Structure formats: C-alpha cells, structure tokens
Amino acid sequence: MSEIQQVVSSVSIALRKGKGGSVSREVNSNLLTDGESLKQLLEFDDGYRFLKPIRGTPAFWQGAQRDLLACVRQLGVPTWFCSFSSAGLHWTNLLESILKQEGRSETVEDLEWAERCELLRRNPVTAARMFDFRWHCFLREVLMSPSHPIGKIKDYFYRVEFQQRGSPHVHCLFWIENAPLIGKNTDEEVVEFIDRYVTCELPADDESLLDIVSSVQQHSKRHSKSCKKNNTTCRFNFPRPASANTFICRNRFEEEEEKRKKAEKARAASMEVDDAEMCACVDQVEQGADVVDDGKPLCPG
C-alpha cells in the first residue's frame, strides 16, 4: 500500500460531544454512511476529521516514544548511542544508477563534486532508497553479525531523520549483553569495555581502509556556520584537549558527592573501630584490669 493510500485510509470522522443536541437527527448507520450527511456534520462543526497514527505524524512518534521508554524500563539504560550518516557522494553504484536513469554516458570519475551534489538533489527518492537499503544491510550483516563489533545486541531502536542539509541519517540506541553500567560497575570496568569496541586510531596498516576513514569518518577541521550558531565560539566545544587514555568525565557535583560518600564511609569505619575499643575497655574493666595508654591508665580497675 502506498503512502498516499495509507493517509487516505487513515482519515476518520468523530462527532463532537457536549454540544447541547446540535445534531438535529438521530445518529445511526444511515447517517454515517451517507456522504451528504457527513458533509453537513463537518460543515456545521458537529464533527471533525482526524488522522490515525501513520509513519511520520506526531501521533506516530508519540507511540514510538512510549515504546522506547518501555524498552528503557525493561532493559535499562542503553549501552551505545550511534549516528550513521549517508555518504551518497561517495557511493559509486548510486551515482551510476542515477546517470543511467537520466540516459547519460559519463562515468562517476568524470563528474565534478558539484555535479555529484546536483545529481542527488534531483533524485532524492533514489538516494533515500539506497540509504535505507545500505543501512539495513549494515545493521543485519555487520552490527548483528557473529563477530559482534559493538558487542552482542539484545535490542535496538533507531530513527531516520532528514535535516535541512538534505541527506538522511540514523540515530540509534543499542542494548548490549553484559555491558557494565556507570555508577554500578567501577570506572575501570566501564573504560575497559569502551576500549574493547571503540578506537580513535587511523588504520595505517590498511591503505584502502585508511582512505575511507579519512574521507568519511573525520569531522571537518574547519568550523561551519552551524558550529558558531548564535555564538562567537564553537557550540560543540571544539577543538577539545587530546587525551591518551579513555576516562569517565564527571561533573563537579558528582565528584563532590563521591568524596562525601567516601568521607562518610571512612567516618563510619572509624566509629566502628572506636566502638570496638570501647567494648574491649569495658570488658577489661569488668575483669578488674587496668587499661594503660602510654603509661597512663585509661580505664581504672
């Protein structure tokens, strides 16, 4: 069923209630199946049309949000948040298929960068379908493969978005089996898990892979208009200081809270020691012995 057919079939009519009997006739099946009667209901505002949840409508995403919150409630906090963007300007097979559709004999290598951009702008449906196909192949054949590149996936949620810049991209949440949790596991366990699957190194040993990572997986070294939107500095806080090791970045409140908990724990342990010494002192007093500290009696017998 096409999107247009889904929209048309999802339109329903509801009667307003509490209008003091504005509908002059009895509501029955004949009234609701008669086109002229329905037209009068809408004309005099005795009824209104509404759209059932279909893909892309606010009602649809409200339902998706409830499903996602249910996943969080049952599965816990997601392990990974990932974004995957379209690299359509680098997809040779996509550009070749568009050239064939337009009856052109050029090869992709003959096209300038501006010409590639214009091809995608003129063929948004083909570009979106190719992205959808590649995304599902990547999800099925790579992320959920037996090699488990990000860990064994228990469940996932994703949403495809089209921003003003045109090309689609996907935002995903993944739940991974036996993944450590910040606040429950130690920072060392969390860092070890992250380092097992995430790296910021360039694959210098593989020239073809190095070319791919350098061309499509590195942020631009120049700030764009989006970076400095409504500000004079980069709103993403780049450039950031480099770090040789992975670490858990906590805000000041969390650090102070952690110090407070450690201090309370140390104070409680000290009080337990003092109580034990006091009990020992009382026992010695009951036995008639003198407790001496540096030659001075603490508990006279």
Render pLDDT for 212-235 as a digit per residue (tens, 0 to 9).
888 887 776 677 777 777 767 787
- Domain of residue 34, residue span: 3-51
Please tell me whether residues 75 and 199 are part of one structural domain: yes
Q: What's the pLDDT at 276?
A: 66
Q: What's the pLDDT at 78?
A: 95
Within a domain: 235: no
Last residue of a domain, one of 184, 211, 238: 211
Is the predicted pLDDT of residue 93 greater than 70, yes or no? Answer: yes
- Alpha-carbon span 277 to 271, nearest angstrom: 10
Q: What's the pLDDT at 46?
A: 67
Within a domain: 227: no
Last residue of a domain, one of 211, 237, 265: 211
Residue 18, SS3?
coil
Last residue of a domain, one of 178, 211, 244: 211
Determine what percent of the chain is predicted with pLDDT higher than 70: 72
Please tell me whether residues 10 and 103 are part of one structural domain: no
Please tell me whether residues 101 and 70 are part of one structural domain: yes
List the beta bridge partners of residue 176.
153
State the DSSP code for 103. T
pTM of the full predicted structure?
0.65
Q: Which residues contact 176 (CB under 8 A, 6 or more apart)?
A: 79, 80, 150, 151, 152, 153, 154
Please tell me whether residues 86 and 176 are part of one structural domain: yes
Please name which of 192, 187, 191, 156 lies closest in space to residue 174, comparing C-alpha atoms.
156
Within a domain: 245: no
Neighbours of 160 (CB within 10 A): 14
Looking only at the bridges linking them, the beta strands covering 11-15 and 47-51 are antiparallel
Please name which of 86, 80, 12, 84 lies closest in space to residue 42, comparing C-alpha atoms.
12
Q: What's the pLDDT at 301?
A: 46
Q: What's the pLDDT at 175?
A: 96
- Alpha-carbon span 33 to 54, nearest angstrom: 24
Within a domain: 111: yes
Tens digit of each residue's pLDDT (9 = 90 or more) over 173-186: 999 999 999 888 99
Within a domain: 229: no
Is the predicted pLDDT of residue 36 greater than 70, yes or no? Answer: yes
Neighbours of 288 (CB within 10 A): 7
Neighbours of 280 (CB within 10 A): 12
Please tell me whether residues 126 and 65 are part of one structural domain: yes
| Residues 111, 117, 120, 124, Cα dihedral to 10° | -170
Please tell me whether residues 44 and 120 are part of one structural domain: no
Tens digit of each residue's pLDDT (9 = 90 or more) over 102-152: 888 888 888 888 888 888 888 888 888 999 999 999 999 999 999 999 999
Please tell me whether residues 179 and 62 are part of one structural domain: yes
Please tell me whether residues 86 and 181 are part of one structural domain: yes
CB 97 within 8 A of CB 126: yes
Please tell me whether residues 12 and 74 are part of one structural domain: no
Within a domain: 219: no
Within a domain: 282: yes
What total of structural domains would you count in the chain? 3
CB 150 within 8 A of CB 197: yes
Please tell me whether residues 78 and 33 are part of one structural domain: no
Cis peptide before 239 (omega within 30 of 0): yes
Please tell me whether residues 62 and 191 are part of one structural domain: yes
Within a domain: 104: yes
Please tell me whether residues 110 and 78 are part of one structural domain: yes
